[in-house]
Amino acid sequence: MQIAIMGAMVEEITPLLEYFNHYETVEFAKNKYYLTSYKGLDIVLAYSKIGKVNASLTAATMIERFGAQKLLFSGVAGAVNPTLKIGDLIVATKLAQHDLDITVFGHPYGYVPEGAVYVESDRGLLALAKSVAERKKLYVQEGIIATGDQFICDVDKKEWIEKTFNADALEMEGASVAVVCDALQIPFFVLRAISDAADMDAGFSFDEFLNSSAKISAEFIIAMLDEMVHD
């Protein structure tokens, strides 16, 4: 089983690279892909660089070039739901692109022609996350993640995203990865730990908590791999 693990920023995959320790590096399309194996699972690891275009390229490359059969995304997010605090984990039940707007043609915000507003995550991976959370006595909130090519640091914009997409958290890659995985029929899963509240302090908060929250997310991914080994 070849498993892809991706983040957007180097900080999001560094805890995983450090954990695996030995890996082969392959360069492709101006990016690096790290190949390793873990307890019999073949793993391809990469950070895409931020934004939907980079994330789509990386997800498609991991699947088409490196043969990934499942994709796990690990990283940080801005909280929309006020119950989510710094360091809390959220796993996406479904994802939407909040910056996709063809409403002038009568479609809802986020609607992709010949597609839908939301792409749903793989139920098997959601169930696996739930059982890992129970075993490790960790709380992982399930919720809707909204994605766009903007770092959100504005309460009005955040509230618009909450109202329009019923979103619990927001970031800049998840929904594009979801679209790619859905098209290529690859089970996927997006996990994020909160780094900020997408408000006027978000930039400072992000800088302060990027590393620690990225580590929380990465550690949960490793626990999921441990569970997959036993499947």
* Residues assigned a catalytic role: 12, 196
What CA–CA distance (Å, rounded) separates 25 from 63? 17
Restricting to residues 57-116, name those near ligand ADE by CB under 6 A. 76-78
DSSP character at residue 103: G
Out of 12, 162, 196, 219, the only residue in the binding site for ligand ADE (CB under 6 A) is 196
- CB-count exposure of residue 170 (10 Å: 0-12, 13-18, 19+): buried
Per-residue tokens: 196: 């900020």
At closest approach, how far in Å is the CB of 20 from ligand ADE?
24
Q: Shortest gap between Cβ of 222 and ligand ADE (angstroms)?
A: 21
User: Please, which residue, 42 or 149, has the CB nearer to ligand ADE?
Assistant: 149
Per-residue buried b or exposed e for 108-140, using 16+ beta carbons within 10 Å of the residue's own CB: ebbbbeeeebbbebbeebbebbeebbeeeeeeb
**Nearer CB in complex with ligand ADE: 62/172:** 172
Q: Which of residues 151-170 bind ligand ADE (CB under 6 A)?
A: 151-153, 170
Residues near ligand ADE (CB under 6 A) are 76-78, 151-153, 170-172, 195-196, 198, 202, 206
